[in-house]
Structure 1
Amino acid sequence: MTSWLRSAWGRLRTGWPLVAQVTLAATASWFVASRLLGGGDNDSGPFFAPAAALIVLAQSRGVRLRKAVQVLIGIAVGALTGEVAIEALGARSTAAIFVVVLVAVGLSVAAGAAGVVRNQLTMSALFLVAVVPPGNQEVAPTRFYDALIGGSIALLISQIAVGRSPLAPLETEGRQAFTELSGVVDGIRQALRRHDEQTAQAVFDRARQLDSRTEALRRAVLVAEENLRLAPWDRHSRPRIQAVRAAVDHVDYAVRNIRTLARLTVTVTRLPDPVPTQLGTALTALHELTTCAAAVLVAVVAGDRDTADQHVDRAGVIAVDTARAMTPLLRHEQPLPVSTMIGQLRMAVLDLLRSAGADRPEVLDAIDEALDLPPVWRQR
């Protein structure tokens, strides 16, 4: 019981901003709709104002604005469907229930609407037909206004915490993604240095979790874009978001290549011969390159172009040093897993360079020249 209470307290301490947002948004929505706009005059009260606020805040950051619009569309179409059914079949009749559910669900499926829109459309129609007393159909437009109030207030309150730093999610998730990535690279180096299969397997298991960090970074891009849509005065920050969006795909490629490196490490540690020291040197340089790419992303998000350019230049130097560390390995025949690791290292270097915007032609040429690759294989 004590352990559960500690866990519950930890979750509450982490999630208190959401608790505060939901409580404040629902209460404010009810107050505005009932006290200021007179929504409490109908039999149901302005119930759908706080309900809409709860629905909007239940969505993931990054899609709340779109979901709010979808909820309002669903409510409007549902209310219209309910009114037409009542005029044709009467309120609180089995035939009306059948028709509004059939039409509402059919329309939402035909339009390819998400579940939240389908539910709102259907519930709006059902509410008018089955709940609202006959002769009180003015509730239909009132419900739409209530939902508009609730959704708007929810979006406004959700923005209060990020008003001063709308791009903060990008920096946070970018740091975490690269920190985890560099940790895996260092773990690979340690496993090879110790020639320890158990350590290599643990690193591979860790590498298999890297996709979650990439997805979190993608979501952070969506969150930042939504923040700027709701804060148009900060539109000058949009190019920074686009730069990070372009980098995320290359980070994803680097994750895949480094995960393959981790898998190969398990195989290499099973070989009887010790791992060449040059491979460890190359991995040390790759770890430094990962840190440098992270610094570029953070500087770009902060709008510090001079610092970003300095790290871009540094990334190019490190990338060439990584290739030069691998060059001696290519002059002698290596076991197949080691040769494959060299190829994966090269691809990981190129992906990290591209994520940092440091993939200049002279840098790519210097890498392939250091590896003594024929022209047909260069820059691929």
Structure 2
Amino acid sequence: MIGVTRDQVDAVAARARAGLMLAVQAGLAAGLAWYVAHDLSGRPMPFFAPVAAVITLGSSVGQRTRRVVELVFGVAVGIGLGDVLVVLIGRGPVQIGVMVVVAVLVATTLGGGASLIVQSASSAVLVATLTTTTGQPWTRFLDALVGGGIGLAVMTVLLPLNPLTMVRRAADPALRAFTAGLHEASLGLAEGDPDVIQAALTRLREAEGTFTAFGTAIEAARENVAFAPARWRNRGALGQYVGGAPQLTYALRNVRVMLRRAQTALNDRERVPEVLPASIRHLGDAVDLLRQEWARGVEPVAARERALRAAAESGRAYEAGVAYSGGVVVAQIRTSVADLLRATGVEYAEATRQVRTAVGWHGRPHGARHRTARSRPAPPLPPVDPA
């Protein structure tokens, strides 16, 4: 007997919990769609109604409204073509192939997305194989309209998903990966090991996917809150994530630039002050504190304080004296700290002021900062990593 670990059981349970609400939504929507189309409207076999309801709920998060529109038009195109082609060329394997080709070409020509194309083709196949030529084609279109509308009603009014839960579940792995990458990079810089920094870079590249999922969850949550009156009370709490996510993406990209330059500094055997890896570690701590404070729905005061400590440590590194690549690392830390402060809700000008104050440059003449770094000018910022 194959052994099952506790982690595997927990993972299965977590997936089941995550899918339970969607399953209940889909079941309720399918039953209601059949009831409305069959029992209330008197349609003998309104199979398009529950199918449309389930497809609506299964559409990609953050795009459900668009998917419903595409679904309805896709069904209309498929049904219309299917009915016409059945009359003209009959039924059979060759005819079905021709119907699919024509349906896909028409949907593509209309500029439809994947949902419209798939629904056009599948609706044409259903008309050609499972329906009769009796009855009015527009009734099947109305079935799809009823199903799509009920699907929307279920997910926005009757059983709306909790938008904050969706976003927090997506934000957690993104911010944990960001934190882990910074901590690993700090260790690599402290040990003078460029391979460890490379591993941190790889981790952060892989984190791009979690940040994409984070952004998608935010779009879905915004849509949910906009259409679901029961979730309007979450707009304020959701605002932390909505406003902070873009700034965290900027910070992630700046950190990747910083780590590549840190790797170069080690390869070139530049002197690395001890406070520099400490600064990166504090930046990682700030990201983790932000994750925790957002999850609790509180003002991210601790995250701001730790981010500013990272800026202060980077300023000490500059004062101790760094070569070119080290100077770029310091500059990118300051930029990342500013991004992180903006993610916590601090305005751009105020974030810049706080970073300058933490570094010790507030109120100094523009050229004074260069003279304090052992007469070594600060290098220009490199471009943001487009990857």
In the TM superposition, residue 257 of structure 1 has moved relative to its aligned partner by 1.5
Task: Judge conservation of contact 2:49–2:148 (CA < 8 Å) in 1.
Answer: yes
One-letter code aligned to 1:47: F
Give the structure 2 partner of residue 351 of structure 1: 339
Which moves more between the two structures, 214-223 or 286-295?
286-295
Question: Which of the residues 232, 237, 245 maps onto 2:234?
Answer: 237
1:59-84 deviations in Å (ceiling 9; x for gaps): 22222333123212222343345556
One-letter code aligned to 1:289: A
Q: Could you tell me the TM-score, scaled by structure 1's length?
A: 0.76
Task: Judge conservation of contact 1:78–1:125 (CA < 8 Å) in 2.
Answer: yes
One-letter code aligned to 1:64: R
Q: How does 1:244-263 map to 2 (within 5 A)?
A: 244-263=241-260
Query: How large is the Cα RMSD of the aligned pairs?
Result: 4.1
Q: How does 1:96-107 map to 2 (within 5 A)?
A: 104-107=103-106
Q: Determine if the alignment matches structure 1 residue 118 to structure 2 residue 106.
A: no
SS at 1:209's partner residue?
helix
Q: Alignment length, in residue pairs?
A: 363
Give the structure 2 partner of residue 71 of structure 1: 71
CA distance in 2, matches of 1:362, 1:209: 32
Question: Which of the residues 117, 134, 137 maps onto 2:135?
Answer: 137
In the TM superposition, residue 216 of structure 1 has moved relative to its aligned partner by 1.4
Which moves more between the two structures, 208-217 or 227-236?
227-236
Query: Cα–Cα, structure 1 residues 2 and 161, in superposed 2: closer, same or farther, change >3 Å?
Result: farther
In the TM superposition, residue 209 of structure 1 has moved relative to its aligned partner by 1.4
Give the structure 1 partner of residue 370 of structure 2: none
SS at 2:163's partner residue?
coil
Which moves more between the two structures, 248-257 or 162-171?
162-171
In the TM superposition, residue 147 of structure 1 has moved relative to its aligned partner by 2.5
Question: Which of the residues 169, 174, 177 maps onto 1:172?
Answer: 169
Question: Which of the residues 317, 335, 349 maps onto 1:329?
Answer: 317
Give the structure 2 partner of residue 193 of structure 1: 190
Query: Cα–Cα, structure 1 residues 284 and 14, in superposed 2: closer, same or farther, change >3 Å?
Result: closer
Give the structure 1 partner of residue 108 of structure 2: 109
1:292-330 deviations in Å (ceiling 9; x for gaps): 43355446xx4xxxx42xx34x55544443333222332
In the TM superposition, residue 280 of structure 1 has moved relative to its aligned partner by 2.7
CA distance in 2, matches of 1:191, 1:116: 47
Q: Which runs of 5+ in 2 are unaligned?
A: 368-377, 382-387
Which moves more between the two structures, 65-74 or 263-272?
263-272
Query: Cα–Cα, structure 1 residues 229 and 322, in superposed 2: closer, same or farther, change >3 Å?
Result: closer
Q: Which runs of 5+ in 1 are unaligned?
A: none
Task: Judge conservation of contact 2:170–2:213 (CA < 8 Å) in 1.
Answer: yes
One-letter code aligned to 1:48: F
Give the structure 1 partner of residue 279 of structure 2: 282
CA distance in 1, matches of 2:274, 2:147: 63
Query: Cα–Cα, structure 1 residues 192 and 97, in superposed 2: closer, same or farther, change >3 Å?
Result: closer
Task: Judge conservation of contact 2:273–2:320 (CA < 8 Å) in 1.
Answer: no
Q: Could you tell me the TM-score, scaled by structure 2's length?
A: 0.75
Identical aligned pairs, as a percentage? 25
Give the structure 1 partner of residue 47 of structure 2: 47
CA distance in 1, matches of 2:164, 2:197: 36
Query: Cα–Cα, structure 1 residues 269 and 145, in superposed 2: closer, same or farther, change >3 Å?
Result: same
SS at 2:245's partner residue?
helix
Task: Judge conservation of contact 1:82–1:128 (CA < 8 Å) in 2.
Answer: yes
Which moves more between the two structures, 63-72 or 367-376?
367-376
Give the structure 1 partner of residue 199 of structure 2: 202
In the TM superposition, residue 349 of structure 1 has moved relative to its aligned partner by 0.6
Which moves more between the two structures, 247-256 or 142-151?
142-151
CA distance in 2, matches of 1:161, 1:233: 9
Task: Judge conservation of contact 1:289–1:318 (CA < 8 Å) in 2.
Answer: yes
Task: Judge conservation of contact 1:39–1:46 (CA < 8 Å) in 2.
Answer: no
